[in-house]
Amino acid sequence: YYVSPGVCLGLFYLFILLVYKISDMILKFIDLCYMFRIIDLYFIMNSGNNILVMCDAYTPAGNPIPTNKKHNAAKIFSNSKVASEEPWYGIEEEYTLMQKGGPYYCGVGADKAIGRDIMDAHYKACLYAGIGISGVNGEFMPGQWEFQVGPVEGISAGDQVWVARYLLGRITEISGVNVSFDPKPVPVSSMRNNGGLAVIKNAIEKLQVKHKENIAAYGEGSERRLTGKHETAYINTFSWGVANRGASVRVGRDTEKEGKGYFEDRRPASNMDPYVVTSMI
């Protein structure tokens, strides 16, 4: 579950103090010039020359702390076979504004489009910061929205989603609203080239074999979401189909028609760790 950055830092500090009996951590800040490799610089909302720095956290012994999922993801994405495929990720992040409500999930008006001002402010903040945000839309439940990041290559997808979540946390904090992340496209170069549909089908077969393992790592609360109803797949059964919103994995009609493109893994929860999910895929 996502909590405000201040609370998160305090709880994180307490965890390190109790578990590791240390009060200091090592923050690694890498490469100022290549912005999206580690998300080195992001301009935050307040006016002025302010920057937001994202770092990896390590113990004084140099070991990644338990919540540093980027460390292992970086090993996978730096592998020459993975890098040569230039994997692109588009991540949909759903969220719910908990202190606002209304009777409809689409439309206009203060009693229908609940929290549109927050959604708009977050979209603009992401654009200003350099996040590869590619869209926003209202979702099924009143006060529920979604933003999309991508397509972004490799580990940068995880970087950008985490910073986008942080920016949303800051904006809702200013608005006096709580945001909840409580509980989808992945092409590589060989999928985007001629004959890519066969590569996609082969990848889907591998996902089917790892279904239980994937579900366990795809976020918390999926058993409440993946019920087989409301355009979701059943959590214990893997399925795929063309233009099938009720499948575990969906292949677009354009991809089938052109014989190349991308597929969409619809199983990850909105609170998933993007480093874990993208590197696992």
State how many domains the chain has: 3
Residues 135 and 221 in one domain: no
Pairwise CA distance, residues 229 & 97, whole Å: 23
Residues 171 and 199 in one domain: no
Pairwise CA distance, residues 251 & 39, whole Å: 30
User: Is 22 a member of any domain?
Assistant: yes
Pairwise CA distance, residues 238 & 267, whole Å: 10
Pairwise CA distance, residues 249 & 247, whole Å: 5
User: Is 6 a member of any domain?
Assistant: no
pLDDT single digits (tens) 201-222: 999 999 999 999 999 999 999 9
Map residue 228 onto helix, strand or coil: coil
Please report, as a single letter, which amino acid is at residue 189: S
Residues 115 and 178 in one domain: yes
Instruction: Tell me the pairing of strands 88-97 and 26-28.
Output: unpaired
pLDDT single digits (tens) 110-155: 555 578 899 999 999 898 888 999 999 988 777 889 999 999 999 9
User: Is 3 a member of any domain?
Assistant: no
- pTM score: 0.75
* Residue 146 near residue 106, CB atoms below 8 Å: no
pLDDT single digits (tens) 11-65: 444 444 445 445 566 666 543 322 332 333 344 444 556 677 788 888 888 899 8
User: Is 96 a member of any domain?
Assistant: yes
pLDDT single digits (tens) 213-259: 999 999 999 999 899 998 899 999 999 999 999 999 999 999 999 99
Residues 90 and 75 in one domain: no
Phi then psi for 249, rounded to 5 degrees? -130, 130
Domain CATH for 99: 3.30.590.10
pLDDT score at 215: 95
Residue 89's domain comprises 85-183+274-280
Mean residue pLDDT of the chain comes to 81
User: Is 2 a member of any domain?
Assistant: no
User: Is 237 a member of any domain?
Assistant: yes
The residue out of 36, 56, 80 marking a domain boundary is 80
* Vertex 57: Cα angle to 52 and 62 (nearest 5): 145
